[in-house]
Structure 1
Amino acid sequence: MHLTQVLGLEITKDGNAKAGTVGLDKAEIADLIQQRQTARQQRNFERQMIFSIGWQ
């Protein structure tokens, strides 16, 4: 996957960018958002555990 696809852009033959679709449906997007939120929560939990034992 290219960055332009992630950003939802489509590059035309003349080099211009236009808004396009990433090729994911709403359910796939919702799943990716949920995965990201879970990863953030896990990172915050781990950070809190480190701080609770005195590491700064």
Structure 2
Amino acid sequence: MAAALTGTKPAKLTLEQQQELRRLAETGEPVHELAKAFGISRATAYRYLAAPVNNPVLESRQP
């Protein structure tokens, strides 16, 4: 379920993957390489990185 917002898609990354994306970005890894590694677009990667850490909109989908 997409954070109780009707008409939204579920998050592409799990919470753990989001944390890993942030950690790698903080070490200086290029965002385009991170996006490719995680199977998401650069725009999606930047959206995850720009969002507050505790943003409920980015809750992960159930595996």
Return the TM-score normalized by structure 2: 0.30
Structure number with the bigger relative contact order (C-alpha 8 A, sep ≥ 6) is 2
Q: Greater share of strand residues, 1 or 2?
A: 1
Q: Greater share of helix residues, 1 or 2?
A: 1
Return the TM-score normalized by structure 1: 0.33
Q: Looking at CA atoms only, which structure, 1 or 2, has the larger radius of gyration?
A: 1
